[in-house]
Amino acid sequence: MGTGKRGLLAVAVAVVCAVTVLGAPGAAFASPEPTPTGTATPTAGAPALPSTATADKNLEAVRAQLETLYHDAAVATDAYNAAEEAARKQSAEIVELAKKIVAGQEKLAELKNRAGAAARAQYRTGGLPDEAQLMLSDNPSQFLDGAGRVRQGQRATKGLIGQLTRTQQDLEQYSKDASAQWAKLESGRKVKAAAQKKIEKQIAQAEKLQSRLEKKEKARLEELERQAAQKAQTAWLDTGILHEIDGAASAQGKKAVQFATAQISKPYVWGAEGPDSFDCSGLTSEAWKSAGRPIPRTSQEQWKQLPHVPVEDMRPGDLIIYFSDASHVAMYVGDGSIVHAPRPGRTVTLAGAGSMPILGVVRPDA
């Protein structure tokens, strides 16, 4: 078995052990019972209570599992948001197509009326050839003038028939396009429903795992999370990166930062775009919309579509994309800090820019 597989197996075993211990009555993290007066102390052979180091190790396993669950929920949230955005666009396109179909039908009715009038006028001439009508006419000059008008009318009728044909073809195409958009809308609905189901499942599992912890254990778990974030931030700062980052925010960037920081303390809710709650990309997209620069809704599309800039060149207002799958996004606010909506159970907050693995930086107003 390779080193990578052994590592994964070790983590899996640790997680299973942690869940088992946390779920058992009288969990291993409970405070030891005081020794009754006048009784002997436990013998050397009695089971020893876990040390703080052991307790922290088990909590680290829980923390790792929670990170995985919330990360998977974030990926599913991106899928949900992408489907939601696509649905909005498809619905708008269907509305526009419906307007075109109505207008086309009205135009077709008008053209048919005009074609009918032209046909009736031609019928009244008796359908005789121009030569015969010239010979029978009492006023050849007047007839020739009339014949010219008839030829003009024939040409107009021919053009009318062409318009009718094109309008009918347009209507057929509009109908096909509308049907295609309905099909996409239905497919997106299924993707959205599947993503929602996964989000709710991952969050429910995370909440269940946390519910098994005692109050002291939850507090210690939060402390371990803070320590892990601080350790990552310190390592990032130790590279000397802040000595290179000195870009000033653009006018739009300042507006985006002002909007994002004004949302601090509002809760994270997956799929939310404000005004009372946000998810990570909901916060960044709404911040830049407020600055007059609409950007893609999801962190993955923000990473794909927006111009990339080197980390050392970033400036306040730029977006930092995190994790290899671009599943999280935050806004850089300067001095090595970000504002972001972290995950379910948390609120919009400031954090260290290096507290999570950075994939890259994008600039909405490049």
Comparing CA positions, the residue from 44, 14, 74, 69 lying closest to residue 341 is: 74
**More confident of the two residues 213 and 320:** 320
The pLDDT of residue 40 is 41
pLDDT confidence band for 101 (50 / 70 / 90) = confident
Question: pTM for this structure?
Answer: 0.67
The pLDDT of residue 100 is 85
Q: What is the mean pLDDT of the chain?
A: 80
Average pLDDT estimate for 129-147: 51
Average pLDDT estimate for 121-145: 53
Question: Could you read off the pLDDT of 48-78 as tens digits, one per residue?
Answer: 445 667 877 888 888 888 999 999 999 999 9
| Percent of the chain predicted with pLDDT > 70 | 73
The pLDDT of residue 14 is 38
| Percent of the chain predicted with pLDDT > 90 | 50
CA distance 159 to 153: 10
The pLDDT of residue 234 is 96
The pLDDT of residue 15 is 33
The pLDDT of residue 27 is 32
The pLDDT of residue 246 is 85
Question: Could you read off the pLDDT of 175-201 as tens digits, one per residue?
Answer: 888 888 888 888 888 999 999 999 999
Beta partners for 358?
322
**More confident of the two residues 329 and 115:** 329
Average pLDDT estimate for 17-39: 34
Indicate which residues carry an active-site annotation.
Answer: 280, 328, 340
Is 333 a residue whose pLDDT tops 60? yes
The pLDDT of residue 310 is 96
